[in-house]
Every structure is written in C-alpha cells, then in structure tokens.
Amino acid sequence: MKQLIRPILAIEKIAKDTFQLDLELELEELEAIKPGQFIHIRVRQGSEFMLRRPISVADVDLEAKKLIVIFKVFGEGTKVLSHLKTGDLIDIMVPLGNPYPIENLEIDRALLIGGGVGVPPLYYLAKSLVQKGIEVTTIIGFQSQKEIFYQKEFESLGNVYVTTDDGSYGRQGYVTDVLKHEKLNFDYYFSCGPEPMLRNVKKYLHYFPGYISLEERMGCGIGACYACVVKSADGKKYKKICTDGPVFKASEVMI
C-alpha cells in the first residue's frame, strides 16, 4: 500500500448523484491493484475531514494509465469530492483490502450481483474474469432509472439483468427477484451491495460457493481502529473489513 498524491484526469456525473473519477497513476502502481480492492481518499487537507473515505476500484486502464472509481454523494465528504475538477490533486492510499481471489479460480461461469454503490467493483472483476475466459452473467440493481450506470459496459462483457426498486427501468424489484425467477447457470457468485441485499443473496444462493464484498463504514482503513468489524460466521470472533476484507467468503461472515 502506498500513499500517493495524483492528478484527476477527469470527473464526470454519470447518473443521479453519481460521479466517475479518473486518476492518473504510474503503470507499476496500477499493476498492483486487483479487483475487489479499494482506495482511501483524503477529502481535503486540514482538520475538517479527519477520516478518509473508502471507495472501491471500478476499473484499471493500463493503456491510458488511469484508475477509475465511481462514487455516490451520500454526505459531506462525497459532496466535496463531487466538486473536484480535472487537474486537481488528490491524496489516496492504494491499494487497500484483499481482492477477490480469482487468480487460481478454475471455473467456467460466474454470476455477479451488485446493488447501488456496490456495482462499481464488479466491473473490474467482470473484466478480469472475462480475460481469464470465464463467462460472466451480471445482475445490477438500482433504486430507479436515474441511478443506473455502466449497463452498456457490463453488456459488453456478458448477459446483464437490470432491476429497479420502483420499476422505472428493467425489471421491477430487487436483484434477488432475478435469482428467484431466472434459471441461471454459474459455478461461483460474487456480490457487493448494501447489507440487506447481501443477506438475501446469501440466503438464496446458500448452496453455491460465493464471495461477498462489504462496504460498511470505516475509520483508518488499515486495521488500527476497529471501526469496521463484522462478526465471523460462528459468532465468536470479529473480522476487520479493511484488512480481513472487504471481500469475504460468503460462508465466513455473519451479516
């Protein structure tokens, strides 16, 4: 992990309250970043925002030498980030957390299930799986049509189902409704999104091996403050999302 100060190549609003941020990094820095990892962003210098904000890596473009993240404005920190401009410098810690363990995964088909701000890390994962010759089906869920992003990008990699809570686009309902009604063929699943969604995904897919990525609140991001703990599946121990995760075997944690 390194602390870097790097320029913003581009910042663009891609959906309601949702921004794509492209950062310039060196090739060797980009090559160290794996799907499922996150960066920890210092909102701005000074004492106002002591805690950094964790944001998942959405993509790594080795040719254009850029790291891409996608974030939604939730509170003051992400609001400040949304006002950054091309050329501004940004202070990040990168890469943090454990990636999806796909290097030695020998499977034919993967199912990816993402909800809201849990969708971005699945894009870099989908690209990496397809590069390994693995067939990818993706289910992405949003509150409404206005919040949807990256549908076309996922469609360029495989079959995609889109759900909206209010039915304004795609199928009405939750990502788990697709699991209920479609016959999907896959060997492994990977999921990221809000905790209630992950809980239901785990419930429906408990016969399948899978990984989930948790995006709960964080403090230090490096294992020092215990702000990010989740209970292990046996309920006896705690795991830190920042250093033991954010990616966990679905059977490993209690959510």
Ligand X SMILES: Cc1cc2nc3c(=O)[nH]c(=O)nc-3n(C[C@H](O)[C@H](O)[C@H](O)COP(=O)(O)OP(=O)(O)OC[C@H]3O[C@@H](n4cnc5c(N)ncnc54)[C@H](O)[C@@H]3O)c2cc1C
List the single partner that 227 binds among ligand FES, ligand X, none, CB under 5 to 8 Å by kind. Answer: ligand FES
Candidates 9, 111, 218, 253: give the one binding ligand X (CB under 6 A).
218
Q: How far is the CB of 31 from ligand X (least distance, A)?
A: 21
**CA 108 to CA 111: how far, in whole Å?**
11
Whose tokens are 């499922």? That residue is: 36
List the single partner that 221 binds among ligand X, ligand FES, none, CB under 5 to 8 Å by kind. Answer: ligand FES
Cβ neighbour number for residue 94 with a 10 Å cutoff: 23
Nearer residue to ligand X within complex by CB, 78 or 200: 78
**CA 56 to CA 35: how far, in whole Å?**
9
Q: How far is CA 200 from CA 25, 56, 76, 189, 236, in A?
A: 37, 22, 30, 13, 22
Amino acid at 44: R
Per rule CB under 6 A, is residue 240 in the interface with ligand FES? yes
Per rule CB under 6 A, is residue 51 in the interface with ligand FES? no
**CA 41 to CA 9: how far, in whole Å?**
16
Q: How far is the CB of 78 from ligand X (least distance, A)?
A: 3
Per rule CB under 6 A, is residue 231 in the interface with ligand FES? no
**CA 104 to CA 94: how far, in whole Å?**
23
List the single partner that 55 binds among ligand X, ligand FES, none, CB under 5 to 8 Å by kind. Answer: ligand X
Angle at alpha carbon of residue 195, lines to 130 and 56, rounded to 5°: 45
Per rule CB under 6 A, is residue 60 in the interface with ligand X? no
Which of the residues 63 through 122 are near ligand X (CB under 6 A)?
A: 69-72, 74-78, 117, 120
Determine contact, residues 69/93, Cβ cutoff 8 Å: no
Per rule CB under 6 A, is residue 225 in the interface with ligand FES? yes
Count of residues of this chain found to bind ligand X when the rule CB under 6 A is applied:
21
Q: In what order do the strands lie in the sheet with 210-213?
A: 171-172, 158-164, 135-142, 109-115, 188-192, 210-213, 247-249
Per rule CB under 6 A, is residue 233 in the interface with ligand FES? no
Q: How far is the CB of 40 from ligand FES (least distance, A)?
A: 9
Candidates 21, 29, 33, 56: give the one binding ligand X (CB under 6 A).
56
Residues that bind ligand X (CB under 6 A): 38, 53-56, 69-72, 74-78, 117, 120, 215-218, 246
